[in-house]
């Protein structure tokens, strides 16, 4: 794929259908090498899978972008020597500065070798609905312990928050059916009187409406986030935000919104209470998000990295 084609695709999602003339669908990693040889691309862009570099044609430039921390890359112990040996030929990038540092340390390359290529928020958040906040703490992340569900339920159970609703997305993706963890968290939410599940948003516009109607969005994660799109979306919609200081979330949190320690439940409760009652102007945070993470801004950073990768 040449750069002009990349630019043409940057403004819209690429839907991968088997009959799409712009897509080549493979059934598994084992078919990747053959498909790439036939395509003879100028650049192969991989995501979270540095072990697939060895499947790329020798004449193609290779770029790997990381969205998650190393444990999510699914590199086996046996594959690591080959990954590190092939590191010099690859253009690396990560979605946040914090993740770039972690990736460089893991790969054994200088941190300046890992460019920061932040993702884009959806265009639906560029012109959000007018805010009509209610006393609701919104948690739209996946329904997992590592997303801080139990921490937020602990806050919800405090007498101070008796009149505040805590809303959790019943979002299981990429799982198709609930796991034991999902079922346990559903039960834990049902046991707290002022907590409830809601159906996952059907579209970015649907989620933007929820951001506009809540009192505060909570990203109380327990493990490092690559960046945190929920945090960016919420701020683009002028919603107050509280995050925990895990990975790239600090880079995704702009003043006057608060980023607190994941190990301090009192700080989490205080920050949520403050956000629910704050009259602070959130437009500065919104502008900061749009300057860095709008489709145009993110696309420019990506194109700059791609241009360097194919030189």
pTM confidence score = 0.89
DSSP 3-state of 177: coil
Per the CB < 8 A criterion, the answer to whether 62 and 43 are in contact is yes
Kindly indicate the confidence band of residue 6, based on its pLDDT and cuts at 50, 70 and 90.
very low
User: What ranges do the domains of the chain cover?
Assistant: 3-120+294-309, 123-292
Strands (E), the chain: 43-47, 61-66, 90-94, 114-116, 136-139, 165-169, 195-198, 216-219, 241-244, 258-260
Per-residue pLDDT tens over the stretch 110-148: 999 999 999 999 999 999 999 999 999 999 999 999 999
Q: Which two tokens stand for residue 274?
A: 């403050």
Report how far residue 49's alpha carbon sits from residue 72's, in angstroms, rounded to the nearest whole number.
9
- Is 123-292 the same fold as 3-120+294-309? yes
Determine the Cα–Cα distance for residues 237 and 233; give it in Å rounded to an integer. Answer: 6
**Res 310: pLDDT:** 78
* 20 has a pLDDT exceeding 80: no
DSSP summary character for residue 92: E
CATH code for residues 3-120+294-309: 3.40.50.2000
| CATH tag for 123-292 (out of 3.90.1150.10, 3.40.50.2000, 3.40.50.150, 3.30.930.10) | 3.40.50.2000
Give, in order, the Cα–Cα distances in Å from 85 to each of 43, 72, 206.
Answer: 20, 20, 46
């Amino acid at each position: 794929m040449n750069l002009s084609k990349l630019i043409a695709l940057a403004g819209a999602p690429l839907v991968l259908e088997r009959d799409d003339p712009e897509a080549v669908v493979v059934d598994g990693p084992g078919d990747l090498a053959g498909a790439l040889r036939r395509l003879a691309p100028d650049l192969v862009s991989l995501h979270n899978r540095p072990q697939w570099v060895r499947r790329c044609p020798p004449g193609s430039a290779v770029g790997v972008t990381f969205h998650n921390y190393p444990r999510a890359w699914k590199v086996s112990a046996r594959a690591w020597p080959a990954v590190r040996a092939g590191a010099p030929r690859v253009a690396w990038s990560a979605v946040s500065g914090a993740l770039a540092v972690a990736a460089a340390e893991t790969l054994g390359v200088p941190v300046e070798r890992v460019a920061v290529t932040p993702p884009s928020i959806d265009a639906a958040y560029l012109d959000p609905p007018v805010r009509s906040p209610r006393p609701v703490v919104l948690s739209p992340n996946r329904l997992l312990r590592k997303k801080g569900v139990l921490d937020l339920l602990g806050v919800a159970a405090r007498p101070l928050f008796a009149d505040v609703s805590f809303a959790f997305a019943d979002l299981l993706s990429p799982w198709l059916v609930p796991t034991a963890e999902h079922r346990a968290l559903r039960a834990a939410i049902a046991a707290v009187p002022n907590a409830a599940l809601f159906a996952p948003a059907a579209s970015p516009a649907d989620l933007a409406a929820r951001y506009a109607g809540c009192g505060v969005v909570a990203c109380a994660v327990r493990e490092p986030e690559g960046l945190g799109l929920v945090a960016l979306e919420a701020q683009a919609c002028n919603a107050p935000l509280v995050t925990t200081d895990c990975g790239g979330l600090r880079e995704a949190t702009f003043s006057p919104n608060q980023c607190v320690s994941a190990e301090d439940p009192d700080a989490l409760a205080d920050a949520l209470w403050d956000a629910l009652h704050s009259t602070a102007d959130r437009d500065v945070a919104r502008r900061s998000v749009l300057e860095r993470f709008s489709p145009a801004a993110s696309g420019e950073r990506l194109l700059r990295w791609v241009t360097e990768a194919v030189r």
